Amino acid sequence: MTSADDRSGNDGAGDPILPDPRHYRFLKSVLIPLSASTVSPEVRDWLVEGRRVRFAREKSAADESSCLRAECHRGPYGGTLIGYVPRSDAEKWAARMDEGFCLAGWVGTEGCSSGRIRIAVYERIIFAPDELASLEFRQSGLFRPFVSVMLSFQEKSLVYRKSAELQDSPVQQVSIRFYPRKWDAFAMPALRRCNFLAWRSRYVDPCVCDGVSWSMELRLRSGVRRRILGSNDFPEEWEHFQSFLEKCLDMRDVKGSGTFSILPPDSFRCERKKADPDRGTSVG
């Protein structure tokens, strides 16, 4: 069987420009114009200099003017630079692009003399979340609130907690239990786009020192647990995950049996109980 490396024209193992074949599927090799209308001057200079660039497909057709322009550049990513390839180049892959990133790695200088560059287009493999039983997510950082998320696939529920840095600060908590129909129509498609099972075990950017760290523990139905750690770097589907959480926190959008509560710190509740032993500790 021909591997993705063979089909993309790469003859070197471990080339950082090529996506991990465990998580990406080769689609095709295409030529795009090396012109000012499709490639920003910065990206064009990189190509002329012979620098390898990793491109990401546009995720939305709303901004048709953005191609490989400087404001779309996200690099560096794994030691390579990133730009956007025009979505109109392959409209038939639009549905797949909506479900996840499609990457295009520049594989050489072939065609540059004729004003074109050749790129290999890869598709992000989407892993179904059916194997997941639950996940626990935590995020904190310097001058940032502590956030935790407990999501149960089996109970169709989500608990979101947010507190300030100080231990004695109040905790905002949102608990949601999805109606089965809403879970199937909204939650599962959104979680499928998050593609948790394709995430690497570690995401670290040593060049950023603002103290943002996060972790996620995935528990599979088989009982296997998988831990993912991050520090100032994130998976490609991070925006999908954040968007899912934002929609869940909007009760009007979720329309589930959600509850919102502000819980006092444990130390405050202990003091109240000592002052009045007959008084309960629940907060309405």
Select the more confidently predicted residue: 275 or 210.
210
Q: What is the pLDDT of residue 187?
A: 92
What is the H or E stretch that residue 125 is in? none
d(C-alpha 144, C-alpha 163), whole Å: 9
39-92 per-position pLDDT tens digit: 556 666 666 665 555 555 444 444 433 333 333 333 333 333 334 444 444 444
What confidence score (pLDDT) does residue 21 get?
72
State whether the Cα torsion 113-115-117-118 is positive or negative: negative
- Which tops the pLDDT comparison, 253 or 30? 30
Q: Which fold has domain 129-275?
A: Mago nashi protein (3.30.1560)
- Summarised one tens digit per residue, pLDDT across range 121-180 is 666 677 888 899 999 999 987 777 888 999 999 999 999 988 876 565 667 888 888 888
CA dihedral 190, 192, 196, 200 (to 10 degrees): -110
Burial environment of residue 213 by CB neighbours within 10 A (0 to 12, 13 to 18, 19 or more) = middle
Measured between alpha carbons, how far is 267 from 278 in angstroms, rounded to an integer? 17
Where do the CATH 3.30.1560 domains begin and end in the chain?
129-275
Whether 46 contacts 53, CB under 8 Å: yes
Output the pLDDT for position 123: 66
How does DSSP classify residue 101? -
Q: Report the C-alpha gap between 1 and 48 in whole angstroms.
A: 34
